[in-house]
């Protein structure tokens, strides 16, 4: 039995057996790119084992503001239907508070040809620049301008395949490049790619949606662009930490 006491501490009395089961949620760092990747599909994407934490809920709110429906269910799943994606500028206040908001760039460019994203905020664990993301998107055909405190991105038609060398093995930079390349014209090779479990989870989910990603789990990814992705269901992998 645990009782809260004054002064921000707890008093714990031992000698009481505990039992029961809990269902741990999936990897938060896989959930964020999956929420963004759902915008690539003009249809329903279900993500299971989603952690109901602030960053995830804020990104989901930002997605709703772009037109898609996004509903949590009681079994820790979320169903996103991005058929009605019509906006290109997520709510600036929401988007500026979480770094994961920049993951919306490639899906918005793919579906709408434009995106307006504020400088992302989020945690303060050190220098976490966007150069890698921006360079990858430019190499794949996007135009990017910084206007005030917002990035204005544009794409004519589809992304164009290229050999993309990431100047650092950035996880979100790799995820951005992957989401841009899956529907690009031609075959893209991503060198110095991050290969963390959550990057692998994104690759597996996109392949379920119809993408053709080869080399998952390595630092070199070969991605054959497809004309479009289809609805799918994906369960997040466990949090490795």
Which of 123, 149, 156, 227 does the annotation list as catalytic?
123
Would you say 99 and 122 are in contact if contact means Cβ atoms under 8 Å apart?
A: yes
CA 235 to mean position of chain CA atoms: 14
Q: Model confidence over 123-166: pLDDT tens digits?
A: 443 344 789 999 999 999 999 999 988 999 999 999 999 999 99
Identify whether 123 is a catalytic site residue. Answer: yes
- Entry pTM: 0.88
Pairing mode, if any, of strands 9-12 and 220-224? unpaired
Please state whether 20 falls in left (phi above 0), alpha (psi between -120 and 50) or beta: left
Q: According to the model, what pLDDT value does residue 100 have?
A: 87
Locate 231 and state its tokens: 């609805």
Domains and CATH numbers, the chain: 26-121+129-226 (3.65.10.10)
């Amino acid at each position: 039995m645990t009782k809260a006491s004054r002064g921000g501490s707890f008093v714990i009395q031992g000698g009481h057996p505990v039992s029961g089961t809990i269902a741990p949620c999936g990897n938060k760092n896989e959930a964020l790119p999956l929420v963004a990747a759902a915008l690539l599909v003009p249809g329903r994407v279900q993500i299971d084992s989603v952690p109901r934490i602030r960053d995830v809920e804020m990104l989901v709110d930002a997605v709703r503001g772009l037109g898609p429906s996004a509903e949590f269910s009681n079994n820790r799943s979320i169903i996103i239907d991005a058929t009605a994606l019509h906006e290109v500028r997520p709510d600036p206040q929401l988007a500026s508070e979480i770094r994961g908001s920049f993951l919306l760039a490639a899906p918005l460019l793919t579906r709408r040809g434009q995106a307006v994203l504020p400088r992302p905020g989020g945690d303060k664990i050190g220098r976490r620049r966007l150069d890698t993301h921006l360079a990858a998107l430019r190499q794949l055909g996007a135009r990017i301008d910084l206007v005030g405190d917002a990035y204005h991105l544009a794409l004519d038609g589809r992304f164009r395949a290229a050999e993309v060398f990431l100047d650092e093995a950035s996880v979100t930079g790799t995820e951005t490049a992957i989401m841009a390349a899956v529907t690009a014209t031609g075959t893209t090779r991503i060198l110095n790619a991050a290969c963390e479990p959550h990057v692998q989870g994104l690759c597996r989910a996109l392949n379920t949606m119809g993408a053709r990603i080869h080399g998952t789990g390595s630092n070199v990814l070969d991605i054959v662009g497809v004309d479009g992705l289809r609805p799918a269901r994906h369960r997040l992998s466990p949090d490795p930490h």
